[in-house]
Structure 1
Amino acid sequence: MGTRIIVGWIPDYPVIAAGAQGAEPVAVVHRDAVVACSASARRAGVRRRMRERVAQARCPELRVVERDLAAEFRLFEPVVRHIEGTVMPRLEVIRPGLIAAPARGPSRYWGGESQLADRLAAALAERELDSRTGIADSVFTAALAARTGQLVPRGGDAPWLAPFPVGVLGVPRLVELLERLGIRTLGAFAALPENKVLARFGAEGIAAHRTARGQHERPLAVRTTFNEHTVAYDFEPAAHLLEPIVFAAKASAEQLHQRLAAAGVVCARLESVVELADRRSLSRTYRHEGRLSALAVAERVRGLLEAWTDAGLLDVGTEGGIVRLILRPEELTAMTGRQSVLFGERDTPQEVERAAARVQAILGHHAVVRAELVGGRGPADQVRHVPVGDVDTGLRPPAGPWPGRLPAPHPATVFPCWLPALLTDAGGEPVSVSGRLALSAAPARLAVEGHGEAAVDGWSGPWPAVEQWWNRDHARRIARLQITTADGHAWLLVIEHGRWWAEAHYG
């Protein structure tokens, strides 16, 4: 009940990666079957899983492209880095065009699950990608919800899934048998007794049954640590060509699968790490769930290497090269069990520190920070985020004097970017502040972007803040005003260069 997952989905991403233009009918095929097609191809009758020859018969002008999974990962990697830098620092790539991430932390940061979904969609739109988002208690449900852009209520996965056909489970043999038995919806399947499902359909059936009930697929945690199953491949001398590295990735993936199978476990995620000759390392984490073959892992590594090379992060020229490739499984669980929680049953500071260090190793040093109280006048100036493990020698003492500091109470929400606002008087004219800190008129109405418009109940201020007047490049002259509105909200406004902004919210 405490887990919430957000999934972002870019429809027809293989078609986008294939370079489809405009209304051109395009189908991406793999092993003589259509895996994705453009909207114009669908209108002509082309469907996923359709044979290539049948698709061409239905749409004679269809352009057929053989799927290049490595190229899809290469093109998708910059999108992932953009999301990590603007929306959330931690996510998993299920496949190119489909990502999942824990929603709890980012939703609290952005002000709610709906705001998080909007922010993720906006970030993908910045990369000129049309997307849909879904939030639920499990990855499976969130992925289905993303098809229609829905937010499933907390604890409501099972009833929300009930009307769906059993075909969405993606287990062909099980689905065929269920339909022959007259069980055609997830709700009907979920209503079956768990012990009967296990006895009749085995481990595969019980995993699908838990999915239909809105539960995590693997509910029993194992304590096996992933470090003992980590596989590393050393290159001596350093590798400078792509093909040997991909070959090593495939061999390492096969070794990893053998180790996990011998231990009777699977991993929920797989981290691929390359260590460079200049002592840098690059990594990416992918959703695994025990389904990725050795070849699929190798294709992901190839796409990553090509993406990092295109972005200038990796240069395997004569003076560089890769010295080590590491495949590290995460969240090991029994083959019929559930995924473990982040810290197991214990939650000690040492374990939290180790987990923070690991996240930093995956997502970058600045991905995990701690808040430090520092000196400043505005609410955003009084807190500084310092990466975990660092000692900030530039912290300003919180104690004053800080002339112009805002009095208590302090706002509950400080916006990372000021929101445009409009403060007007009774006649509809914008309210201004003179050089003597006098308002041009009594404020009557306040409109804040994204939060509507309301009548002003009262105000306090303005308070001036003139900082670094001696530095032309960093000089700042503003005035702050506290406003309460008739709809029960309280705002901290800032006027700079004659324009009003909402800096924080007290509600």
Structure 2
Amino acid sequence: MSAARPRPVPPERRLVVWCPDWPVVAARAAAGMPGVPGQAADTADAAAVFAANRVVACSPAARRSGIGPGMRRREAQARCPELAVFAEDTDTEARLFESVASAVEDLVVGVEVVRPGLVAVPVDRATAYFGGELPLAERLVDHVAARAGVECQAGVADGLFAATLAAYRGAFVGAGAGAEFLAPLPVTELNQPGAERSELVELLRRLGLRTLGAFAALAERDVLSRFGRAGLVAHRLARGRDERPPLRRTPTPELALTESFDPPLDRVDTAAFTARTLATRFHTGLASRGLACTRLGIYATTENGEELGRVWRCAEPLTADGVADRVRWQFEGWLRAASGRPTAGVDRLRLVPEELVAGRSLQLGLWPGGGSAEHTPESDRAARALVHVQGLLGPEGAVTAVLDGGRGPGERVRPVPWGERRTPAEGHDAPWPGRVPAPSPATVHDPRGPARVVTDDGTAVEITARNEVTGAPALVAVGDDPPRRVLGWSGPWVVQARWWAPEHTGVHARVQVVLEGRDDAVAAFLLRWDAECDPAWSVEGTYD
């Protein structure tokens, strides 16, 4: 007699609170603009957050102008010249979101921050106290607006994925109706922030599977053989289930990491330095047992006995960098909170793996510590020295350069704090019209020094509306030096910024010149011409 096949356990019912356009709200808050947490909202202002020159999020006013996610910056500014432009800043978004998470926690226990802008709470016990799911959601939305000054909307469904999509639509999905709710939605909904599935989504679309229901109708065995483990996880979501089976490992006490501090931590930069060290130890302890953390509990005790805590839920198993980021974000939220800030420094921190999965999805480094082939004792000593500098001066006290996208040499260099991921932004290898070709100048001047460029007859050289020079450069004076004869030159490379705004042309150009030097030596410079500056020519770079 064969054993009966166990029935699948339904996902936990969850309520998700979503703050629309949170990157814009956080960016405006950091800039001190209206319409931020704790201030009256002003939705008439158009604003957008960009990453790699593409829209990540935009305000309602920007959407009314036809701006949407994925749009290029130039097109967005052409549609709305008064658009306020902000760069994506995940640290600021996470720090400011603590006010929203705290407001939700005032009413419901068990708050989990999925990502900045999105929190989830269990509803089974809370609904009995508030009289149902709808009264609970209405109370949460009103409370967040009153305490944090942020507009939000809520949704309820079985499982985090379905509840998140319900929150986007302000929907309440009945128990057991998650698959029916998800079925007509486009398969692109699988590509949520923090869980990059763009390649899988594009493949499903090419195969004609354009809705979650069509994808869910496939047999699980076929999905696993064709799309692998990533496809199987997405298939579970499309069917209205959790991305991982409900029965998981129970964390044992020795997996938690507790650290005491003397003196207590009361500065964000010191906390950021400490977070990186603790995150490495925490992750190494889990990896040595073949485990990975998907829900991280961060608990702190202040010198005055105050208890602080927050749980972060992650779509993918956390790496050491992921743990460090969340600890740093949480400390920033606690120590920089406008209200409810601790009255004393943190003297005890505890990291708890609230949920564990097998660590097979994490590829461990070949070399000790996850370093590269150049991992040597000398590099270790240098790394420790830089970390020590950061402990004294803060995270920005030691930075390395990353070659990023841009047209000018100064625009392409982005400083990254030591220990952070040194990855170029998306779109760094785009054509970038007007970019100066290689080689790049060895020295980039900031601020730029003045220069004067004239022809043989002493006429000042300018750039015409047709992007041409008015005459061949013959003499160049750099700063207070006497003019020197031009041995060779190339260019111009013209950049037209804000071309849609007649009151501000923003045209500038760059020219490379080789000049006679002293003692039979030559000198090479990168010169920049700005139509609206006086003097128009300046020295932007020097070549060796």
- TM (normalized to structure 2)? 0.56
Q: CA deviation at 1:192?
A: 0.7
Of 185, 188, 195, the residue aligned with 1:164 is 185
Q: Which string of whole-angstrom CA distances, capped at 9 and with x for unpartnered residues, describes residues 57-100 of structure 1?
A: 43322111123333333322233222222x21221111222110
* Equivalent-residue separation in structure 2 for 1:220 and 1:91 (angstroms): 18
For 2:176, the equivalent position in structure 1 comes to 155
Provide Cα deviations, 1:183-216, integer angstroms capped at 9, x if missing partner.
Answer: 1111111011101111111111111000000011
Which position in structure 1 is the counterpart of 2:349?
A: 325
- How far apart in 2 are the matches of 1:141 and 1:24? 32
> How far apart in 2 are the matches of 1:295 and 1:34?
25
Which residue does 1:94 correspond to in 2?
114
Identity of aligned residues (%): 44
* Alpha-carbon distance in structure 1 between the residues aligned to 2:334 and 2:267: 14
Distance 1:294 1:53 in 2: 37
SS across alignment from 1:290? coil
The answer to whether residue 104 in structure 2 is matched with residue 104 in structure 1 is: no
Asked if 1:18 corresponds to 2:38, the answer is no
Do residues 115 (structure 1) and 126 (structure 2) align?
A: no
Say which is worse superposed, 224-233 or 62-71, in terms of deviation. Answer: 224-233
**Paired residue for 2:278?**
252
Aligned with 1:301: secondary structure? helix
How far is 1:31 from its partner?
4.2
Q: Could you tell me whether the CA contact under 8 Å between 1:273 and 1:284 is conserved in 2? A: yes
- 2:60 is matched with 39
In structure 2, the CA distance between the partners of 1:182 and 1:164, relative to structure 1 (3 Å rule), is: same
Give the counterpart of 2:309 among 283, 295, 302.
283
Q: Is residue 4–residue 104 contact of structure 1 (8 Å, CA) maintained in 2?
A: yes
Which range moves more in the overlay, 62-71 or 177-186? 62-71
How far apart, CA to CA, are the structure 2 residues paired with 1:224 and 1:88?
24
Report the Cα distance in structure 1 between the residues aligned to 2:302 and 2:256, rounded to whole angstroms. Answer: 18
> Structure 2 regions of 5+ residues with no counterpart?
1-9, 35-41, 192-196, 362-544
Indicate which of 4, 19, 28 corresponds to 2:13: 4
How far residue 179 of structure 1 moved from its aligned partner, in angstroms, is 1.3
CA distance in 2: counterparts of 1:268 and 1:295, whole angstroms: 14
> Residues 293 and 52 of structure 1: is their aligned pair in 2 closer, same or farther, counting only changes over 3 Å?
farther
Partner Cα distance (2:290, 2:302) in 1: 33
Whether the aligned pair in 1 keeps the contact of 2:293 and 2:318 (CA below 8 Å) is no
Mapped contact 1:69–1:299 kept (Cα < 8 A) = no
CA contact (8 A) 1:249 1:325 kept: no
Give the aligned residue type for 1:137.
Answer: D
Matched AA of 1:334: A
Cα offset for 1:151? 0.7
Q: How many residues align?
A: 332
CA 1:146–1:291 in 2, change beyond 3 Å: closer, same or farther?
Answer: same
Instruction: Write out per-residue CA displacement over residues 297-354 of structure 1, whole angstroms, 9 at most, x where no aligned residue.
Output: 4444334333333335435xxxx644443321112133689xxxxxxxxxxxxxxxxx
**Using the alignment, how far apart are the partners of 2:164 and 2:286 within structure 1?**
27
**Alpha-carbon distance change, 146 to 74 in structure 1, aligned in 2, over 3 angstroms:** same
Aligned counterpart for 1:178 among listed residues 181, 190, 204: 204
Deviations 1:249-274 (A, max 9, x none): 13332443344444444333211123
The 1:221/1:282 distance shift into structure 2, 3 A limit, reads: same
SS at match of 2:230: helix
* Greater mean deviation of Cα atoms: 26-35 or 131-140: 26-35
Q: What is the CA distance between 1:221 and its match in structure 2? A: 2.5
Distance 1:226 1:47, change over 3 A: farther
1:194 aligns with 2:220: yes
Maintained 8 Å contact 2:292/2:318: no
Structure 1 gaps, min length 5: 338-507
Residue type of the alignment partner of 2:203: L
Q: Secondary structure at the match of 1:17?
A: helix
CA RMSD of aligned residues (A): 2.6
69-78 or 180-189: which moved more?
Answer: 69-78
- Aligned-partner SS, 1:18: helix
SS at match of 1:94: strand
SS in 2 for 1:155: coil
